[in-house]
Structures are given as C-alpha cells and as structure tokens.
Amino acid sequence: MKKTRKRNIYYKKALLASKTTKTLQEILQTDIFAGDDKLDPNLREEQLSTDSDRKRLVNHYSKREGMFFGQLIAYSEGASQSFLTKSTGKSFYEIKAIQADEIDSAAEQKNEFIESILYFGVYKNHLVVMQSLSLTMKALEAHLSWLLHDYKSILAPDEQIILQDRPTQQAKNQIETVGARQIKVGSPLAFTQESSQEETDQPKHISWSPKTLGADLVKSLLGQKDWDDLDIKHSLDDQNISVQLIIRYRRKTGDSGQKILDDIATSLRHQDEEDYKIELKDGSILEGSELKISTKIDVSFMPDGRVAEADLYSEMAKWLIAHYRNKNIVD
C-alpha cells in the first residue's frame, strides 16, 4: 500500500541566453538524451570537483504527457552508510557502517548509496521542480549548464541558462499597480566551524565559513583579510544577530514593475524565500514566497520508501499545464 506525504513543487522558467531557437525541452529530447550515448549513464556523470568522488547526473528520464521528465541524483562513489542497532539492556545504540556492495551485488555491477534525488519536468521552456535539501534548483541549473556546455557543447562559453522565478499573479498586479519602494535581503548570522591540525603538538586552527545569506553579506562587506581577523566565536556568544541589506528603488521614467520583478527573479533566484521581501509604496509587504509560483501536492511513496514516479509526474504535469493554459505563465 502506498503512503502519501505533502511536498512542495516550484515553477521555473528557463532563459537561454543563446543563439539557439530551440526550447529547453527540445534540446533535452533531441540533442542531449538522444543517440547511442543516451543508453550509457556513465557518459553523462558530472564530477563535482577534482578532489571529490561526488557525482551527479540525470539518471532515469522519460517523455510523457507532452513533457520531458527526469530525476537528478547525487552520490559519492564508494561511500559507506552509517546505521544504528537498537537493543534493550544497553545504555547506547551501537553504530556501524556498511558499503552498498555488501547489501547485494553481482560481479558485473557496482552499488552506490544515493545521497539525494530531485525530480523535474520540462514543457517548452517551463519547468516544474520538486527539490530536496541537498539537491536544490541551484544544483539543477548548474547541472543543466554542464550538460549544455561541457557534455554536448550546445551553448558557447559566453552563453548561459538561467532558471528564473515568476511571481504569483496577485504579487505581479500589486507591484505593477502600487510600485516598489525597497527590497530587503537578509537573514540571521550563522556560521559553519572548520578546524585543522597539521601537527599533533600544535593547537587546532579554527576557521568559520558562512552558512546563511546574512553571513555571506558580512563576509562580502569585510573582505577576506578582515573576515579572517574577525573573532566570530566571541561575537556570537549569547547573541542573536541578523543582517539585512536594503535596496531602495527610485523609479525612473520608462521603468516598469515588470522590470523590477525580472531583476529580482534573476538575482535572488537561489535565495531562500524567507531571506527577502519587497516593501511597496503603500507600505504593504510582498514576502519571498509570493515571488515564486509553487504549491503543495500529495506525493505517493512505495512500500520500500521510493517515490512513485509515475504518480508524481502526473501531478506535476497537471499543475504546470493548468498554469500554462490559464496564461499564468507565458512563453
């Protein structure tokens, strides 16, 4: 029996800064996932860095209901998976690790643990995406760029693909009618602590890297040298600090509300919804969630925990095509 859980799906529009007249759907179906090499997923694996075994690829894909669908997966080659053993009469659970090949592996195959899966569908230049915590829209955009540049050389080095947000119709009407006063971007300060110890008799060197947009803003303003000299641990003790950048918009003749929306949709497309908002001239606020078209759907899961992909793709297609036919999204 299938179980269902609520999941968010998001709309994105693919902008191809390119000489090509093809849509993203046409490129995927006729140029990338076509020909003899489409049968060999090894050829379309993207190595994420030279010093890492982490890879990602569009694994399974299909054409259905007039759309192209795919699953973007990420995995680290040869990685092990930790698990705990629960038993009575002990003060703690025992933790062990297992390699994927130890589960079930024939001589001619190799198993790997999947880190994350993102699901997406493409209709012309319109996308519907169900992301995960570690595979986000930013990762999808980066992988599509790799496919179009490195894998197939469809785009020239100076050409690019951008997955742009689109606001809800209500937000679009508000900003066109009232006008924007300012954009507020920011978040609480949060850092990731990193330590290194090259010599055993030397104290550990503690460094900090930004974890949130607010921390990124502070690092950008300070510069690398002042950032390295900053006593972050002392600064954060017993503090609850937020950083906010305010961009005031002075409307000029010929500017439009659509221009503002387009700039925000491109520049802030990878930021969390909670990290930005628009203050309108009448004092009302448009939250980040209102600047993205999204909805919650019921996602079915198989008894073994895998997503029931046919059901998911059907729901994604129904939602996206309805928006297209109602002209909420346009070519």
Residue 203, pLDDT score: 45
How far is the C-alpha of 296 from the C-alpha of 317, rounded, in Å?
14
Mean pLDDT computed over every residue of the chain: 82
In the chain, what percentage of residues exceed pLDDT 70? 77
Q: In whole angstroms, what separates CA 30 from the centre of its chain?
A: 25
The reported pLDDT for the residue numbered 126 is 97
pLDDT of residue 221 exceeding 80, the answer is: no
- pLDDT for position 20: 85
- Asked whether the predicted pLDDT for residue 253 surpasses 70, the reply is no
Grade residue 194 by pLDDT with cuts at 50, 70 and 90: low
pTM > 0.85: no
Q: Which residue has the higher pLDDT, 36 or 58?
A: 58
Q: How far apart are CA 292 and CA 7, in angstroms?
A: 15
How high is the pLDDT of residue 240?
Answer: 58
The pLDDT of residue 99 is 87
* Residue 87, C-beta contacts closer than 8 angstroms, at least 6 positions apart: 93, 94
Which range of 26-35, 142-151, 190-199 scores highest in mean pLDDT? It is 142-151
Distances (CA, A) of 141 to 145, 253, 304: 6, 34, 30
What is the average per-residue pLDDT within 226-253? Answer: 59
Q: What are phi and psi of 314, to 5 degrees?
A: -65, -45
Nearest by Cα to 130 from 9, 12, 13 = 9
Query: What are the beta bridge partners of residue 172?
Result: none
> How many other CB atoms are there within 10 angstroms of residue 77's CB atom?
13
How far is the C-alpha of 87 from the C-alpha of 230, rounded, in Å?
47
Name the pLDDT band for 170 (thresholds 50, 70, 90). Answer: confident
pLDDT level of residue 229 (50, 70, 90 thresholds):
low
**Residue 260 near residue 249 (C-beta atoms within 8 A):** yes
Q: 120 has which bridge partners?
A: 70, 129
Token pair, residue 133, equals 């915590």
329/323 Cα distance (integer angstroms)? 6
Ranges of each domain in the chain: 3-166+293-325, 170-289
**Spatial CA neighbour of 96 closest among 105, 107, 104, 84:** 84
pLDDT number for residue 178: 83
What is the pLDDT at residue 131? 96
Q: Are strands 54-64 and 191-196 parallel, antiparallel or unpaired?
A: unpaired
The pLDDT of residue 71 is above 90: yes
Residue the block writes with tokens 């951008």: 162
Residue spans of beta strands (DSSP E) within the chain: 3-17, 46-47, 54-64, 67-76, 80-85, 94-99, 114-123, 126-130, 160-164, 180-188, 191-196, 205-210, 242-248, 276-280, 285-287, 294-301
Question: Which of 119, 103, 108 lies closest to 59, judged by CA?
Answer: 119
Pick the more confident residue, 214 or 278. Answer: 278
